[in-house]
Structure 1
Amino acid sequence: MSASAENNVVKENGWEEGTLLQKVMELVKQENLASGMESSKRVIEFQHPKDLEKILQLGLTREGLSFAQVEELLEKVVKYSVKTQHPHFYNQQYGGIDEVALTGAWLTDALNTNQHTYEVAPVFILMERFIIQHMISLFGWPEGDGIFSGGGSMSNMYGMLLARYRLYPDVKRTGIFGRKPLVIFTSDQSNYSFAKGASVMGIGMDNVISVATDSCGRMLPQALREEVAKARARGGEPFFVNASAGTTVLGSFDPFEDIADVCQEEGLWMHIDACWGGSVILSKTHRHNLNGIQRADSVSWNPHKMIGTTLQCSPFFVRHKGLLHECNSASATYLFQQDKFYDVSYDTGDKSIQCGRKVDAFKLYFLLSTKGMDLVEKKIDAAFSASDYLNEQLGVRPGFRRVIEKPQCTNTCFWYIPPSLRDQPETPEWWEKLSKVPSIIKARMVQEGTMMIGYQPLASKNLVNFFRLVNTSTPMTTNADMDFVLDEIERLGKDL
């Protein structure tokens, strides 16, 4: 279909070129989706799945939608979606965006190219290289490499792939058949992506060993030594250790220097999953949490979590230059011709296990360069400051109890104990009753739309359901926001 014919179709449906984009812009401004949403607005207009299906009336037609129908659809999408930019959205390890982040995302989509060759993405290839090199220098590596992946889980699997390739390069061509079982080690508080990665790679979930942690959720180096010895005694081949920089629930940072010592002694690849806590590298106040990162072989990081780029934005870094290309290249001649008229070392796509990759590096470069590193640091520090204030309040407000005394990241985990359970013997029955409190309060807050906070049990620590509040840097959280959270939980749960 020619461009003119397509324009005719647009006009036949009752709307002119450009009006659709104007409508989206109006909605973004009207609903404050990228700036300053008022806390009085609802985080969500919750509907149960069957009710929402009736409201949306999803379907496809031969003739397409009129502009009035398009407007109605867009308005429904916004109305019934979760407002992650709301000041009281604390549900996940990501949050709102601002005008800078949205601008970066819109431009990447408008240009709609692929981050695989300089030929089709010259500007974005250079930006990716710049960001990778900048972060490598912050890690303290003399050299290295990296790539933006499709998400943190994929970045973590990149680390596993490179570790296996370094140990057994021929696996790339001949497969994993006839070898000792490869064994992965990660803490009992780490992300589930390592088990999934082991499944995808044919290593097997049973060969992912959970290493014990201390009361704050940090890996115990001696326990790691013992698990490695046990795996060797069983006939396994230990090859990969993951250390966490900000665990998903407790926000714990493993002791990287001590873990690096074990990896060095045992000849193991050390990966750091810094998807959540890696942003502290940009803060002079909090980067001490990453002491020892210079000894890691690879690192994953998700800027879309703490610092507020749009989803997804997930760079992966490796200390060993050239290994990404050796491990993953397939030398597709229709993309990576070696006789091009420019320097083909800028064709980075063959380092990736994907062919198609979005130009996510621009979103991060645009955010950091536009805001400046001082403001990015200030916003990270504000998230920590608000979390510290909340933790202090939990220690003095009746009816609240911390799960751990001093969190390392901006995760704050706590129980709310309703008046009916206070000053009672803490028997198994008492804990069973307390375990039901978070789910009831969560349902009430979502149905009223006042805020969203996550909850979960932690079986490895024998902990029943507790709240987990996560602060990110967008929007900047205040002490007053934290006071509201505690007041609101008390209001919603005092009758339980």
Structure 2
Amino acid sequence: MSEKIPIANSINYVHVEALNERTYKNLVPYTSDMKTTKTFLFAAIDMILRYITELNEHDSPVIKNGLRTPAEYRKMFTFEIDDQGSDLYDILANCERILETTVRSGHPRFINQLSQGVDTISLVGEMITSTINANMFTYEVAPVFNLMEESVLTHMRDCCGWPKQGPLSKNGDGVLAPGGALSNLYAVLAAKHYAFPQIKKGGIQNGLRPAMVISKHVRIFKFCSSARVPNR
């Protein structure tokens, strides 16, 4: 940062000034001393708690001081990437400014089709999974997460009508998708391979002329490309 940004409101942690001139090299795993790491994390958690408190106040604004222009945001933040980096105090100060200037999509008065309030349990889950940072590609690396995923998929299959009992391979399978668009694309691929089970061996040009009937507002090119169906 070109200038020191004062942390005014959100952070009330008494030792936050100790983060001045401290960098990532003062955090674990670059050092075995946990003091600076604890100070940094406690200050960040204090900021988050204060944000959540204000987020759920109906009389608080959805976005403080209104939406600004890109030029105004560029004056408030340093977006350029350099070799110097920022100290821990400046990082927290920027985090505070992000919380102060971003639309609060979890606010009770923010009405939108894709957003909802902050779920505290899910927030803790995000913290735990980010802390563990485990890949789920094998049971040996993430045994509990793999069993959790299997349980969730079993429940979802039960909601769709598949029985819970019996080997997993006989009662169906599943995959968790991050959103509706990708879920629809998965559904298109599943439908294509259900209708044409030999398509992976023979190809779509093997005398096949698959077709899809979709509504006007759907992004036709994306769906046709995912299913390898010519866009006519």
**TM-score with structure 1 length normalisation?**
0.36
Pair 1:200-2:226 in alignment: yes
1:80 to 101, 106, 120: 101
Rounded Cα–Cα distance in structure 2 between residues aligned with 1:86 and 1:157: 31
Q: Which residue of 2 aligns with 1:38?
A: 57
1:68-217 matches, within 5 Å, as 68-142=89-163, 143-173=171-201, 175-188=203-216, 192=218, 196-206=222-232
Shift of 1:43: 0.9
Shift of 1:68: 2.2
Rounded Cα–Cα distance in structure 1 between residues aligned with 2:184 and 2:207: 23
Q: State the secondary structure of the residue aligned to 2:156.
A: helix
Shift of 1:173: 4.5
Q: Which residue of 1 aligns with 2:26?
A: 10
Q: 2:189 touches 2:226 (CA, 8 Å); kept in 1?
A: no
Shift of 1:25: 0.9
Q: 2:107 touches 2:117 (CA, 8 Å); kept in 1?
A: yes
Q: 1:196 touches 1:205 (CA, 8 Å); kept in 2?
A: no
Aligned pairs, how many? 195
The structure carrying a bigger strand percent of its residues is 1
Q: Which residue of 2 aligns with 1:3?
A: none
Shift of 1:135: 2.1
1:199 maps to a residue whose letter is S
Rounded Cα–Cα distance in structure 1 between residues aligned with 2:185 and 2:115: 21
Q: 2:192 touches 2:227 (CA, 8 Å); kept in 1?
A: no
In structure 1, stretches of 5+ residues that fail to align are 1-6, 207-496
What is the RMSD of the two structures over their aligned residues, measured on CA atoms? 2.7
* Cα distance, 1:77–1:30 mapped onto 2, change above 3 Å: same
- For residues 230-286 of structure 1, the C-alpha deviation after alignment (integer angstroms, 9 at most, x for no partner) is xxxxxxxxxxxxxxxxxxxxxxxxxxxxxxxxxxxxxxxxxxxxxxxxxxxxxxxxx
Q: 1:132 touches 1:146 (CA, 8 Å); kept in 2?
A: yes
Q: Which has the higher contact order (CA 8 A, sep 6+)?
A: 1
Shift of 1:186: 3.4
Q: 1:39 touches 1:87 (CA, 8 Å); kept in 2?
A: yes
1:323-342 matches, within 5 Å, as none
Rounded Cα–Cα distance in structure 1 between residues aligned with 2:24 and 2:183: 44
Residue identity over aligned pairs, in percent, reads 28
**TM-score with structure 2 length normalisation?**
0.72
Q: 1:156 touches 1:194 (CA, 8 Å); kept in 2?
A: no
Shift of 1:153: 1.6
* Cα distance, 1:175–1:24 mapped onto 2, change above 3 Å: farther
- For residues 309-358 of structure 1, the C-alpha deviation after alignment (integer angstroms, 9 at most, x for no partner) is xxxxxxxxxxxxxxxxxxxxxxxxxxxxxxxxxxxxxxxxxxxxxxxxxx
1:67 to 84, 88, 93: 88
Rounded Cα–Cα distance in structure 1 between residues aligned with 2:181 and 2:24: 44
Shift of 1:95: 1.0
Q: State the secondary structure of the residue aligned to 2:211.
A: strand
Shift of 1:140: 2.4
Q: Which residue of 2 aligns with 1:21?
A: 41
